[in-house]
C-alpha cells in the first residue's frame, strides 16, 4: 500500500484503509445529509480516522458531565441539547441562534477555565454545537504543518456540518450560523492555523469548491498584540507547575532568542504575532481568516487598559486598521481587568456585548 504524504492529508486526501466515515459515503451533499441525521456523539465514534483520539480519560468527570467528548489532542466537542440545525419552521429564537460555536482558548488555558465560557454559551444557545480548541504552549515550538494536522478533526467537523463547501451545498444545507470566540494570541494562532488549513483544503478539493458568506460573528478577547520577550515568558510561566517554572523559563528565554534571531535575521520570517495581526485582517475573494468571514462579518475586540500581556494600544491600532480596510469592527474597552479576565469581573457587560454582536450579525443576513 502506498503511503500518502502529510501534504495529501492536509489537502483533504485520505490514506487507503483509514476509513473516515465522512469521506466514504458519496458526494459532499450526500455525506452532509446523512451525517446530520446522526447524533453528534455517534457521528464521531463512527469515524475510524487515526486523527481522532477519543481519550476521554483526559477530561475530568465534571467536564464529561457537561457533554463534551475528546475528538483530538486538545480538541473537544459538545453534543447539542437537541437538533442543532433548525428549520425555518422553528421558533425565531432558535432560527437566529448560532448552530456552531468555536472557542479557541488562550495559551495554557485548562478545560475548567474554558468551560466557564462554554457553560454560558450552553445556557444561552442550548442547541448549538460547541467545539473547544486548546492552545498548548508546546504547539508554538512546532511547525505550521504539525499545527495544521492537529486541527484536522475540526476541519472535518466543519466540512461535514456544511460550514464550508460549494455555494449550492451551503444553500441546500440552510447555511449554518457560526460564532467564533478567540482568546489571546494563543487562541488567535490556532484560529489562523485552522483558517490556513481550511483554505488549503477548499483550494484543492473538487468536492468542496468555494464558499459563500454565512451568518457569523467573531469575538477577539485580549488580542492581537506583539508582547515583549518578558511578556511572552510570562504567558508560558503562568501555565507551568511551580517546581519547574524557573528552569523552563530560562530555557524558553534562551531558545526564544535563538529562534527569533534565526527566523527574522537570517530568513526574514515575521514573528508569529505579526503574522496573526495580518491574518486577522485577511479579506478578499478567497475569504477572511476563516473562509466564511467577510468584510461584513461583525467582529468585536475586547481589551483592557490594565492588561499586562497585550498592550491596549496595539489592539486599538488593529481595530483602526480593520476599519480602514472596510471591516465591520467594534471595540469594548475595560478600565481595570487583567488579561482574559473581563468576563469574570463584569459578566453582565461582557455577555451582553457578545449577544449584541450576534444580534447584529443576524440583522445583516
In sequence order, the 6+-apart residues with CB closer than 8 A to the CB of 143 are none
Average pLDDT in the chain: 77
Q: What is the reported pLDDT for 65?
A: 61
Instruction: Judge contact between 148 and 197, C-beta under 8 A.
Output: yes
**What pLDDT digit, counting tens, does each position of 130-144 carry?**
999 999 987 777 888
The arithmetic mean of pLDDT across residues 108-121, rounded, is 95
Grid-cell match 487598559, residue found: 305
Cell of 142: 512546532
The model's confidence at residue 252, banded by pLDDT at 50, 70 and 90, is low
Compare 267 and 50 and report the one with higher pLDDT: 267
Task: Give the mean model confidence (pLDDT) for residues 69-89.
Answer: 72
Helices 152-160/184-204 angle, 10° precision:
60
- Domain 6-226+271-363 indexed as CATH 3.40.50.970: no
Q: Which of 20-29, 93-102, 119-128 has the lowest mean pLDDT?
A: 20-29
How does residue 166 score in pLDDT terms, banded at 50, 70 and 90? low
Quick: pLDDT tens for 12-40: 544 333 334 344 334 444 444 444 444 44
The residue that leads in pLDDT, 359 or 172, is 359
The tens digit of pLDDT for each residue in 173-203 reads: 567 899 999 999 999 999 999 999 999 998 7
Mean pLDDT of 64-80: 86
Residue 197 or 263, more confident: 197
pLDDT at residue 215 greater than cutoff 50: yes
Select the more confidently predicted residue: 106 or 244: 106
Domain locations in the chain as residue ranges: 6-226+271-363
Amino acid at each position: 500500500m502506498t503511503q500518502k504524504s502529510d501534504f495529501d492529508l492536509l489537502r483533504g486526501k485520505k490514506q487507503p484503509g483509514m476509513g473516515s466515515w465522512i469521506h466514504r459515503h458519496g458526494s459532499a451533499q450526500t455525506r452532509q445529509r446523512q451525517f446530520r441525521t446522526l447524533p453528534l456523539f455517534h457521528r464521531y465514534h463512527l469515524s475510524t480516522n487515526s486523527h481522532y483520539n477519543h481519550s476521554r480519560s483526559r477530561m475530568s468527570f465534571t467536564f464529561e458531565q457537561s457533554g463534551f467528548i475528546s475528538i483530538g489532542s486538545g480538541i473537544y466537542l459538545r453534543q447539542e441539547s437537541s437538533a442543532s440545525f433548525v428549520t425555518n419552521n422553528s421558533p425565531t429564537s432558535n432560527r437566529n441562534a448560532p448552530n456552531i460555536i468555536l472557542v479557541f482558548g488562550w495559551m495554557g488555558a485548562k478545560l475548567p477555565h474554558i468551560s466557564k465560557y462554554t457553560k454560558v454559551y450552553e445556557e444561552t444557545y442550548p442547541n448549538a454545537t460547541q467545539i473547544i480548541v486548546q492552545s498548548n504552549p508546546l504547539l508554538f515550538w512546532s511547525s505550521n504543518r504539525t499545527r495544521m494536522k492537529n486541527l484536522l478533526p475540526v476541519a472535518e467537523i466543519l466540512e461535514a456540518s456544511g460550514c464550508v463547501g460549494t455555494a449550492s451545498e451551503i444553500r441546500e444545507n440552510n447555511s449554518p450560523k457560526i460564532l467564533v470566540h478567540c482568546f489571546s494570541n494563543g487562541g488567535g494562532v490556532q484560529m489562523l492555523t485552522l483558517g490556513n488549513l481550511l483554505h488549503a483544503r477548499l483550494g484543492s478539493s473538487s468536492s468542496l469548491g468555494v464558499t459563500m458568506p454565512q451568518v457569523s460573528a467573531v469575538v477577539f478577547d485580549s488580542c492581537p498584540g506583539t508582547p515583549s520577550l518578558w511578556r511572552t515568558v510570562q504567558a508560558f510561566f503562568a501555565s507551568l507547575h511551580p517546581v519547574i517554572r524557573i528552569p523552563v523559563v530560562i530555557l524558553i528565554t534562551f531558545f526564544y532568542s535563538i529562534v527569533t534571531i534565526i527566523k527574522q535575521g537570517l530568513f526574514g520570517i515575521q514573528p508569529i504575532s505579526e503574522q496573526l495581526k495580518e491574518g486577522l485582517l485577511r479579506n478578499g475573494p478567497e475569504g477572511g481568516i476563516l473562509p466564511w468571514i467577510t468584510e461584513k462579518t461583525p467582529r468585536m475586540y475586547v481589551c483592557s487598559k490594565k492588561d499586562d500581556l497585550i498592550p491596549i494600544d496595539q489592539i486599538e491600532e488593529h481595530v483602526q486598521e480593520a476599519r480602514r480596510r472596510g471591516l465591520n469592527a467594534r471595540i469594548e474597552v475595560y478600565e481595570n481587568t487583567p488579561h482574559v479576565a473581563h468576563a469574570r469581573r463584569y459578566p453582565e457587560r461582557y455577555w451582553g456585548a457578545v449577544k449584541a454582536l450576534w444580534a447584529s450579525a443576524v440583522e445583516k443576513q
